[in-house]
């Protein structure tokens, strides 16, 4: 389905929106993304709807490649994946970081090159390991000791599977405790302190079916400063040096994961690829020189920082309710299409589109239509005082961990994903209808 750009008749130049809006989003006289008026999308595809700016996605892929020309850039599929997204990533020359059989299936369905895929997961099922080996993925990240023999027996005779070991550098970084994955006491990785990391190295080296090519770590998500990555780089280089000193081998690869943060509010700024690159490359080079170790080939796994700012969500206002202490603006979506506020206390901004208002803004609580008190999309968000039912609200920075974490709570179908670029819009993931939900219910 296509929605063709309607040209402005006013002659005014569009006003570009800054972070947290996507690169091609403009306001005034008509709100548009990718050259497509957002109200055209509302009228054709309904609300709620996710909108993904293809141009923005591609530009962010290129920014990472330009900042780290000698590194392997893998897009973290868990942020958002569909066939269109996998195709854009492939066309931009990035690899793909998958962490489930479903994500691998999407990659396979578009012919994503197997050698550019890395398979993650702290508890990969036996079937997922079979599928990864069958497709010939480039790397499998080993996350626990039990996985080593389980993987080794799956490798066909005469072949070897390249693996990375995910180790815990014990660095706490990330916007919320639930998304900090680089410290002791959480489920991911092999602990350096406990000796599991060292034991995993020894066990992999004893498996002729497995080829240990490097180490991996991931600190967490929504990290907006370079210092944690600098610390991780130094710690990981020290681990590579210990492996060299113990076994006389130099592992050629180091994967520092992803987690680079983005802006969700106008007052925030994300961690730019060039800033990240300067910090990490300097740390790698300095620590390698001090330990007389060759600089390993770097791999990074941005997800949110590629697709997060490229997305926005469109909602229709259903009701405005004034209490003694608050004003609630209720819309036709909510925690089923954006669970992040209820999970992590994430904050968002919002903007009225589709009509102009001369009224001053006042702070409201933007809420969803689900039967939960915690169904809040944005707290203390400024919207015009005359906001009313029927208005349309746009919420930015919803490209990552929205569609991928969406649910059917209250038997609400998930919204469609509309890709926009060069003045045209198309459905890349259709709306989930009640018939889709009923088909899964096989009856008594």
Query: What pLDDT, in 10s, does the model give residues 295-351?
Result: 999 999 999 999 999 999 999 999 999 999 999 999 999 999 999 999 989 999 999
Nearest-angstrom CA–CA distance, 192 and 231: 15
Averaged over 36-55, what is the pLDDT?
A: 98
Nearest-angstrom CA–CA distance, 81 and 307: 10
**Residue written as tokens 């007389």?**
292
Beta carbons of 310 and 392 less than 8 angstroms apart: no
Residues designated as active site: 371
Q: For the chain, what percentages of helix, strand and coil (3-state, to nearest 5) are there?
A: 30, 25, 45
CATH among 3.20.20.10, 3.90.1150.10, 3.30.230.10, 3.40.50.280 for 68-306: 3.20.20.10
Q: Which helix (H) or strand (E) holds 89?
A: helix 83-91
In the prediction, which pLDDT does 188 show?
85
For residue 17, pLDDT beyond 90: no
Beta carbons of 53 and 33 less than 8 angstroms apart: yes
Q: Give the number of C-alpha atoms closer than 13 A to the C-alpha of residue 55, restricted to the C-beta side.
A: 15
Tens of pLDDT, residues 255-295: 999 999 999 999 999 999 999 999 999 999 999 999 999 99
Residue spans per domain, the chain: 2-53+310-440, 68-306
Return the higher-pLDDT residue of 92 and 4.
92
- CA-only gyration radius of the chain, Å: 23
CB atoms < 10 A from the CB of 267, how many? Answer: 10
Averaged over 120-142, what is the pLDDT?
A: 97
User: CB neighbours of 202 closer than 8 A, spacing ≥ 6?
Assistant: none
Tell me what the pLDDT averaged over the chain comes to.
Answer: 93
Q: Does domain 2-53+310-440 have CATH number 1.20.1250.20?
A: no
pTM over 0.85: yes
Nearest to 279 by CA among 302, 256, 297, 263: 256
Averaged over 164-185, what is the pLDDT?
A: 65
Question: 311 phi and psi, to 5 degrees?
Answer: -105, 150
Burial of 379 (0-12, 13-18, 19+ CB in 10 A): middle
Nearest-angstrom CA–CA distance, 392 and 346: 22
């Amino acid at each position: 389905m296509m929605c063709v750009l309607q040209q402005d008749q006013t002659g005014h130049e569009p006003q570009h929106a800054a972070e947290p809006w996507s690169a091609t989003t403009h306001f005034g006289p008509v709100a548009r993304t990718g050259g497509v008026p957002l109200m055209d999308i509302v009228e054709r595809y309904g609300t709620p709807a996710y909108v993904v700016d293809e141009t923005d996605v591609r530009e962010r892929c290129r920014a990472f490649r330009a900042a780290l020309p000698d590194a392997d850039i893998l897009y973290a599929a868990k942020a958002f994946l569909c066939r269109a997204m996998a195709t854009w990533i492939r066309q931009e020359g990035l690899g793909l970081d998958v962490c489930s059989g479903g994500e691998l299936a999407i990659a396979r369905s578009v012919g994503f090159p197997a050698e550019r895929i890395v398979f993650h997961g702290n508890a990969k099922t036996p079937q997922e390991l079979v599928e990864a080996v069958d497709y010939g993925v480039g790397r499998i990240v080993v996350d626990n000791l039990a996985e080593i023999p389980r993987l080794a027996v799956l490798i066909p005779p005469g072949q070897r599977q390249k693996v990375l070991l995910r180790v815990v550098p014990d660095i706490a970084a990330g916007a919320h405790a639930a998304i900090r994955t680089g410290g002791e006491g959480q489920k991911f990785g092999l602990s350096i302190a406990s000796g599991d990391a060292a034991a995993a190295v020894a066990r992999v080296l004893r498996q002729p079916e497995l080829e240990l090519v490097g180490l991996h770590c991931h600190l967490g998500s929504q990290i907006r400063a370079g210092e944690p990555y600098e610390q991780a780089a130094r710690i990981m280089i020290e681990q590579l040096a210990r492996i060299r000193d113990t076994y006389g081998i130099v592992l050629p690869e180091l994967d520092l994961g992803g987690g680079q943060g983005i802006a969700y509010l106008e007052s925030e700024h994300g961690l730019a690829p060039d800033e990240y690159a300067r910090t990490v490359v300097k740390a790698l080079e300095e620590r390698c020189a001090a330990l007389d170790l060759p600089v390993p080939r770097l791999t990074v796994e941005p997800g949110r920082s590629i697709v997060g700012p490229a997305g926005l969500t469109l909602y229709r206002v259903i009701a405005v309710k004034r209490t003694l202490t608050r004003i609630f603006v209720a819309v036709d979506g909510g925690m089923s299409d954006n669970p992040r506020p209820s999970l992590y206390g994430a904050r968002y901004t919002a903007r009225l589109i589709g009509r102009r208002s001369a009224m001053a803004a006042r702070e409201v609580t933007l809420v969803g239509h689900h039967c939960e008190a915690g169904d809040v999309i944005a707290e203390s968000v400024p919207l015009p005082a005359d906001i009313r039912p029927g208005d349309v609200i746009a919420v930015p920075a919803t490209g990552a961990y929205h569609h991928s974490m969406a649910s059917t709570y209250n038997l609400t179908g998930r919204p469609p994903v509309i890709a926009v670029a060069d003045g045209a819009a198309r459905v890349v993931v259709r709306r989930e209808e009640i018939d889709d939900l009923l088909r899964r219910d096989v009856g008594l």
